[in-house]
Amino acid sequence: MSEGPQGGPRVALVTYSTKPRGGVVHTLNLAERLHRAGEPVHLFALGDEREGFYRPTDVPFTLFPAPPRAPELERRVLDAVDALTEGLATRVPGAFDAVHAEDCIAARAAVEVRDAHGGGPVVRTVHHIDDFTTPALVDCQRRSVVDPDLVLVVSLYWRRLLAERYGVLASVVTNGVDAPRFGRPAGFDGRPLRAGIGVGDRFLYLTVGGVEPRKGSVELIEALAEVRSAVTPAPVLVIVGGHSFQDHASYREGFFRRLGQLELELGRDVVRLGTVTEAELLAWYHTADAFVFPSVNEGWGLVVLEAMAAGLPVVTSDIPVFREYLTGHEALLVPPTRPGALAEAMLRLAWEPDVRARLQEVGSAVTARFTWRACARQHADIYRRLVRTDADGSAVAASGADR
């Protein structure tokens, strides 16, 4: 087995995309910390080599061409699995001691390559379980959980769920945040960004993740409509993000209809920015007055930590994954799918500067507990336990790692 400066096994980290979705963000940050610690890692994904990842990185990576976007979700998933399998088969066997897959698509591809070509064990991190409905996708997701040699999760909630639903005992390795990267620069001026969308000094709520069912987008605008009637001048909601493998077109159509029913105007009361560069995302974190994230289903909620690191007071859903690192003292927690309760919390942030100041102060203590360096250290230990070196220098799966 070839060893890096730290003597670790060669690990291929695999994800399905280069866009800034949670699992991809996790993979990129983890790979960077491992690489900087001297661990021999290489990043693989589907994407355009000319464009690279959503931000520059110093990690060695290879991108395989993504297949044309099929109209049906099932075909898109299966085509992506095939494309990633074909690419990995040319690069991974014999070159890496283990493969770490960060999503359903990557896990299916990694297992296919392992079973067809041999090689080291497959590690899978489950960030969340998708609500697939067709038999082919339900089976694809099930196999992506039960077929890897080792399964990791980012929270205790998902550890319990995988045990109950799939009979898989997973290990918990929490996410991290690069607090210095998200910290507000001295002298930052958000007025140009505000002027660019015509909101002036109106109270600005920010949410990240796009418009989709699990982000609670409709409930958020319903809450905003209540807040608007009580705050002068009327506040504005800025929505960043939107890239998704799934097609939420019908939900978005309902979202826009609801905007009209609530007499909220797109571009005036609600501003959708779509996917932005990391520099633009940081600028919006530093421009906003508060962060609102009424998600109903998350693996961890990386953007909550990012917002706290940027110094924003946070309102989010009172769901199990958030209760693992938030008590209600560090953020305002509200019952999911309850627009009235969400509006009350949003009003507190608009009306009570002392509450905003308190949340901003305690948020830094939360982010200090979760670093990518600690996350990478845990992963490096896991890789070493999973792969051992024989006397002849060859890498084999360690005892207990066999399928």
Q: What are phi and psi of 312, to 5 degrees?
A: -95, 140
Assign 232 to helix, strand or coil. coil
Write down the CATH superfamily of domain 179-368. Answer: Glycogen Phosphorylase B; (3.40.50.2000)
Tell me how far apart the alpha carbons of residues 101 and 144 are, in angstroms, rounded to a whole number. 9
Q: How many CA atoms lie within 13 A of 134 on its CB side?
A: 10
Report DSSP letters for 329-390, one per residue. Answer: SSSEEE-TT-HHHHHHHHHHHHH-HHHHHHHHHHHHHHHHT--HHHHHHHHHHHHHHHEEE-
Q: Do domains 11-176+371-392 and 179-368 have the same CATH topology?
A: yes
Separation of alpha carbons 321 and 317, rounded Å: 10
- Cα(100)–Cα(34) distance, integer angstroms: 13
Tell me what pLDDT residue 400 has.
Answer: 43
pLDDT, one tens digit per residue, over 76-108 is: 999 999 999 999 999 999 999 999 999 999 999
User: In this structure, what is the dihedral angle of CA atoms 146, 149, 150, 151, given to the nearest 10 degrees?
Assistant: -20
Q: Residue 396 — pLDDT band, cuts 50, 70, 90?
A: low
Taking every pair of Cα atoms in the chain, the longest distance, rounded to a whole number of angstroms, is 74
Give residue 14's identity as a one-letter amino acid code. V
Amino acid 395: pLDDT? 53
**C-beta neighbour count of 181 within 10 angstroms:** 14
Check: CB of residue 388 under 8 Å from CB of residue 395. yes
Scan for tokens 């990043």, then name that residue.
43
Classified as helix, coil or strand, 79 is helix
Tokens 């999503």 identify what position? 103
**CA–CA dist 73, 124 (Å, integer):** 22
- Percent of the chain having pLDDT more than 90? 77
Average pLDDT over residues 179-190: 92
CATH class of the structural domain 11-176+371-392: alpha beta
Cα–Cα distance for residue pair 227/234, rounded to 1 Å: 8
Task: Tell me what the pLDDT averaged over the chain comes to.
Answer: 91
What does 270-303 look like in DSSP terms, one character per residue? EEEEES--HHHHHHHHHH-SEEEE--S--SS-HH
- Left (φ > 0), alpha (ψ -120 to 50) or beta: where does 216 sit? left
- Domain ranges within the chain, ordered by starting residue: 11-176+371-392, 179-368
Q: Dump pLDDT digits (tens) for 341-395.
A: 999 999 999 999 999 999 999 988 899 999 999 999 999 999 999 997 533 444 5
CA–CA separation, 205 and 236 (whole Å):
6
**Model's pTM, two decimal places?**
0.89
